Amino acid sequence: MDSILRKSGQLWKLTASLVLSVMGFVMMVIGIRVGIESRSKSAFVLVLVGIGISLIFGIVVPGLTIRCPGCKCRWYWRAMKSQEAGAWLLAVLSAEHCPSCDYTGRAEDDGKGP
């Protein structure tokens, strides 16, 4: 099974967003840890920045950039909206074609949808 993300060359976008989300989460944990020990304002700022990074790079950026080259359907958003909470990421990773136009990423697809 070869996912549409891999075939369309967009798997890197999801990978990068997950790595950046983890970095944001680590920043939050460090900020909380430092904040508990020192009660400093900079720790609070670190927590807020970590939350922002996690939200932006975990949800917003892939939601806007991971899309069908043919019909421009936003696969990430569509999966988040239509799948159950525990199933949407697997749906994005395992999809073999666009749910809107059946674009498959094969060489004979011209990238223009139906």
For the segment 24-41, what is each residue's pLDDT rounded down to a tens digit? 888 888 878 777 777 777
- The CA-based diameter of the chain, rounded to the nearest angstrom, is 60
**Integer CA distances (angstroms), 36 to 25, 33, 52, in order:** 17, 5, 20
Helix axes 11-38, 41-55, angle to 10 degrees: 160
Instruction: Supply the mean pLDDT for the chain.
Output: 82
How does pLDDT run across 42-62, given as a tens digit for each residue?
777 878 888 888 888 888 888
Question: What is the pLDDT, as a whole number, of residue 108?
Answer: 52
CB-based contact 83:91 (threshold 8 Å): yes
Every domain of the chain and the residues it spans: 4-94
Q: What are phi and psi of 104, to 5 degrees?
A: -115, -10
Question: What is the pLDDT, as a whole number, of residue 71?
Answer: 92
Residue 2: pLDDT over 60: yes
